[in-house]
Structure formats: C-alpha cells, structure tokens
C-alpha cells in the first residue's frame, strides 16, 4: 500500500471547518439538524431513507415538527385565550395568533441552523427529554399569555390597537430566541 492510498484518521473537530462541527455533547440541545441538510424521509409501507434537501425543503420538513411542539404544548394557554371575549383582530386572540405563528417560524429557523439563538454559540433547537418537555409546557404557555394580554394592555395604553400585533410578534420572537439558552442552562444544572 502506498502512502497515497493509506487510510487517513478521521479529522478532529478542530480540523473541520466551523460550520461542520457538531457539538452533540451540549446538554439539552439537539444540534445535528442545524449542521446537516440531510433529513429522514418516509416512502410509505415502512420504507425510510434520507435525502439532501434545499433550504426551502428543510423549512417544509422542519416546520411541522416545530409546529406540533409549540402548538401542542401551548394548548392550555390557547384554550384559555380562545375562551375569553373575542374583541376583534387586535385583541388577545389576534395577538396570541401572531405570537404563536412567530414562535413557530423562529423556532423552525433555529432548528434549521439559519439563525443563532441568543447568548449561545451552539446552533440547533432544544432536545426532547421528559424534563425539558415540562419546561417547554410552562414556558410556551407563559409566553403566549404574556404576548396576548401584555401586548393588548400596551396597545390600550398608547391608544393604538394595531401595535398589539407588533408587540406580540416581538415577544414571541425574543422568547424563542432566548429559549435554547434557557433550556441549555437548565439541562446543565440538572446533569450536575
């Protein structure tokens, strides 16, 4: 065997370019989807595989996953908000809807690795563990209630109802940008 065909040892993480590093050892974080364009696909009849996807294909693949997570775990707050008095498009119901859609889109972009969460260098979304599902349940419901009612209160204070939708979108965006760091800190504390 010549030196040209000799097997090479796998490159260390430091030798790989920064976008190829996968820090799967970060507690509470699922980083693999953020660093890869490959996703598992299902052909039906029990046949699965994986495929390389475009950015748009990644978005279409990842948004149902994040949608089910955000919507499913925020059902208690959604139920409460929807059972309050419907006060038009700029009330609590409209603000909650805008916040919920914003939360889903921002979390999907973080899951894909297109945007970096606040206060962390780790790309990717939060992993699914029983404890972090409980954290999500509390966090998502709290964010949705704050986005719905605080935005309407601020819009009433400035006497301009449409601003409630902008405030709700900002609350949802900032909350989802901060959540991965919070989950990472909680998971680190829990593993000690």
Look up residue 162 and give its DSSP letter. T
**What average pLDDT does range 23-51 have in this prediction?**
85
Asked if pLDDT for residue 28 goes beyond 70, the answer is yes
Q: What is the pLDDT of residues 8-18, one digit of tens each?
A: 444 444 443 44
In this prediction, residue 21 carries a pLDDT of 46
What is the CA angle 108-111-115, rounded to 5?
A: 85
**What average pLDDT does range 129-142 have in this prediction?**
96
Q: What are the strands, taking DSSP E only, across the chain?
A: 29-30, 38-44, 47-52, 125-126
In this prediction, residue 43 carries a pLDDT of 81
Q: Which two tokens stand for residue 1?
A: 């065997």
In this prediction, residue 24 carries a pLDDT of 56
Cβ atoms of 164 and 10 closer than 8 Å:
no
Asked if pLDDT for residue 167 goes beyond 50, the answer is yes
Q: What is the pLDDT of residues 99-125, one digit of tens each?
A: 999 999 999 999 999 999 999 999 999
Q: Which two tokens stand for residue 32?
A: 């693999």
Asked if pLDDT for residue 87 goes beyond 80, the answer is no
**What average pLDDT does range 19-48 have in this prediction?**
79
39 burial class (0-12, 13-18, 19+ CB within 10 angstroms)?
middle
Distance CA 147, CA 168 (A): 5
Asked if pLDDT for residue 150 goes beyond 80, the answer is yes
In this prediction, residue 159 carries a pLDDT of 94
**What average pLDDT does range 60-76 have in this prediction?**
96
**What average pLDDT does range 140-161 have in this prediction?**
96
Distance CA 30, CA 62 (A): 13
Give the pairing of strands 125-126 and 29-30. Answer: antiparallel
**What pTM did the predictor assign?**
0.84
């Amino acid at each position: 065997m010549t030196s040209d065909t000799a097997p090479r040892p796998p490159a260390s993480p430091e030798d790989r370019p920064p976008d190829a590093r996968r820090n799967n050892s970060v507690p509470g974080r699922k980083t693999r989807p953020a660093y890869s364009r490959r996703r598992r696909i299902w052909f039906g009849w029990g046949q699965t595989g994986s495929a390389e996807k475009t950015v748009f294909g990644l978005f279409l693949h990842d948004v149902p996953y994040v949608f089910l997570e955000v919507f499913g775990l925020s059902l208690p707050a959604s139920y409460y908000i929807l059972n309050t008095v419907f006060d038009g498009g700029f009330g609590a119901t409209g603000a909650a809807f805008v916040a919920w859609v914003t939360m889903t889109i921002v979390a999907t972009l973080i899951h894909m690795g297109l945007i970096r969460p606040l206060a962390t260098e780790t790309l990717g979304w939060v992993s699914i563990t029983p404890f972090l599902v409980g954290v999500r349940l509390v966090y998502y419901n709290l964010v949705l209630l704050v986005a719905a009612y605080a935005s309407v209160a601020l819009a009433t204070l400035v006497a301009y109802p449409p601003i409630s939708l902008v405030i709700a979108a900002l609350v949802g965006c900032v909350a989802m940008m901060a959540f991965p760091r919070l989950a990472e800190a909680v998971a680190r504390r829990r593993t000690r």
